[in-house]
Amino acid sequence: MIRKPLLAPSSIAIAIALGTSLVAAPALAQTADDAAQTDAALEDDLHNRQGDTEGNIIVSASGLEQLDLLAGTSVLEIGDIQRNAVTGQLGELLSKLPGVSATSFSPGASRPVLRGQQAERVRVLVDGVGTSDVSNTSADHATTIDPITVERIEVLRGPAVLLYGSQAIGGAVNVIDKRIPTRMPDHNIHLDALGGVDSATNMRTGAASLDVGVTSNLVLHVDGSWRQSDDIDIGGFQLSNALRAEVLAAADEEEGEGALEEAAELRAVAGRRGTVLNTGAESWTVNAGFGLILGDSTFGASVGFYDSSYGVPTRPGTVHAEEEGGEEEGAELVTIGLEQFRADFKGDIALGDGAFERLKLRVGYSDYTHTEFEGAEVGTTFDSTSVEARAELVQAAGGTLRGSSGVQYTHRDFFAQGAEAYVPPNLTEQVAVFTLQEFGTGPVQIEAAARAEFTNVEAQTLGLERDYDTFSGALGLVYEGVDGIRIGINGSRAERAPSAEELFAEGPHIATQAFEIGNPDLEVESAWGLEAYARGRIGAGTFSLTAFRQWFSDYIILEETGDEEDGLPVFEYLQQDADFWGVEAEFSYPVINTDGFKLLTDLSASYVEAELDDGSAVPRIPPLSLLGALEAQTDAFDLRGEVQWFDGQDRVTAFETPTDSFTLVNAVAAWRPLSGNQNVTVQIAADNIFDVNGRRHASFTKEFVPLIGRNFRASVRLSF
């Protein structure tokens, strides 16, 4: 098959050679506590903590002192990751952050939902470039990230995400790992390790990474992880009340027609409780890399392999479930096996005292294969080969304008074959240029960002090709006239090119229980955005409050046509305007703060509402959620209890059902057994203590895959 590239091979080679780290790749945010720190102070902190993975290091974006375009940013450090990593999927790990939910398709596949947006509107990145998996194409596809090998995670919402590309119009998650070392380890050798077990999934997991200083400026790195879990335990019936009623009504109908055996089988399905079959998962990873530290410059590369297999629970009563014999003993179960080979390069070059102080380079290459099995038989295979490269020039900090500018090149070659290959083979290429600038040193500062993208999407088997030119920008105003508090407002205009799936899909998609039809005539999706925020310190406490609104034009959405194909309702990608608005709030206050003891309270809330132009609700919008926690901290022990409440969601479209409210109560105790050493932590946790049967409204499988029930976890983290 001959494919016509957007750029000539020589141009592609040049773009790959340039590479890049994202404009915000060196850790894109500052917390409310750190908002007033300058780059110099942060660099001193980083130097003082070399080799200490427990340090809460937050570094501002390149060349910028405050960068409040990133006001909607949350950061999870290694301790938070250990505490919240219930499953091996990124969505569940982040679900306690304000403005974040999860797709929760199954324990093996759960992607972040940011401000009600998911799939093609949320980018998941590894150290600034895309994960290059196919998790954006379907909710049953896993992300190729194991949280237990991660050092830090940054979640971005708001206008700054335009720097990550049009697929980040709803937000971005940037995962920072240590596969490419950027500093020399203490004592020439640094070891990190994490192991854990749980009760509700019989999970066993372990991970380790090793950095070795071979010479005074060369570091070698190797890491690996393994995780295995069985079918999940749940706190009640597997099926929701509405689906149970539907299945029981079908049983009555079968019984009325004399089909007693079929009626008994349906009643057995409705009566399932305590466990969800075919939800086990297993994954392993291995990575190796090196870093070369030459004064103020660093270079490095890595290679890695990710392997995962997990069960795909099927909705009872569907055509697919009937063909496979349901989930009874001996039936052909549906599983997914995926593999990814990945190679990465990163460079950070000091340029001296000129107009530009640094050149940052980042390249990622991925070869991804994803196979859906029906029993032992191969059903559908997805292959994706991709390259993403970025280059960024950082301006000298002392200039009138502080900021950075760069270029990006992305190439994805996608191929699917099999019974459920609902997306034809396609090639996507994109070239982009971007800039981020800050002006002002007094109480008032101005920030601006802009991005231009040129995208080509081609489905050669269909003879279709589409080109899109998109332009996005943001402007922010910051006021620091109140001691310890920063107040700002950001306006943005973002545009997104339709994806190949939205343009060319045609076929049965079991994950969404729909026969999906793409629309090659889709226009660019665009949104005006407004975000106001205040964050900082009040007395001994810190707070963050954000209100946002987005007005979408030509919002791309799957809409039911009323037809049926292959036993599935037909959905077509169409466009209409949409309006999103919401609020996010966080507050932390030390109720008691004495030498050796602190009692801290954490409160957070998030709410988003979304409506289409015809007055109907945007589907799968998470409801209001509130979280309250009380944490006692000493040098040796931490004890935390938290309550997270999710409101019911009854603003639904015609093809989705309401979701009941539920409350999760969790507790965790952490012990640091070595006096004066914070890098060895033993943790015991209890999740969903009251065994509540909770269901996420953003999930396609909420009717038959509830959240994990009561779960006891134990883990040990070491860092030397």
pLDDT in tens, 125-155: 998 899 999 888 888 889 998 877 788 898 8
Three-point CA angle 540, 541, 544, nearest 5°: 150
Q: Which of 82, 101, 2 is nearest to 638 (CA)?
A: 82
As a whole number of angstroms, the distance between CA 15 and CA 546 comes to 37
| Phi/psi at 166 (5° precision) | -65, -25
Question: Encoding tokens for residue 311?
Answer: 């069960």
Tell me what pLDDT residue 315 has.
Answer: 83
Domain presence at residue 503: yes
Please state, rounded to an integer, the average pLDDT across all residues of the chain: 86
**Domains of the chain: total:** 1
Task: Give bridge partners of residue 131 from the DSSP assignment.
Answer: none
Distance CA 119, CA 621 (A): 13
Residue 25 has pLDDT above 50, yes or no: no
* Distance (Å, whole) CA 73 – CA 69: 9
Residue range of the domain that includes 336: 9-231+277-719
Q: Binning pLDDT at 50, 70 and 90, where does residue 346 land?
A: very high
Nearest Cα to 253, choosing from 240, 266, 239, 269? 266
Kindly state whether residue 491 falls inside one of the protein's structural domains.
yes
**Rounded-to-integer distance, Cα 436 and Cα 406, Å:** 9
Distance set, CA 703 to CA 327, 504, 688 (Å): 16, 29, 19
244, part of any domain: no
* Residue 385 domain-assigned (yes or no): yes
Mark out the alpha helices in 25-77 (DSSP H runs): 39-48
Structure pTM? 0.88
**Pairing mode of beta strands 281-294, 711-719:** unpaired
Greater pLDDT, 698 or 137: 698
pLDDT grade for 32, boundaries at 50, 70 and 90: very low
Q: What is the CATH number of the domain that holds 182?
A: 2.40.170.20
Domain membership of residue 242 (yes or no) is: no
pLDDT confidence of residue 376: 86
267-282 pLDDT, tens digit per residue, is: 999 999 999 999 999 9
Q: Report yes or no on 585 lying in a domain.
A: yes
- Assigned domain for 73 exists: yes
The angle, 0 to 180 degrees and rounded to 10, between the axes of the packed helices 241-256 and 260-270 is: 170
pLDDT band at 159 (very low <50, low <70, confident <90, very high): low
The answer to whether residue 166 sits within a structural domain is yes
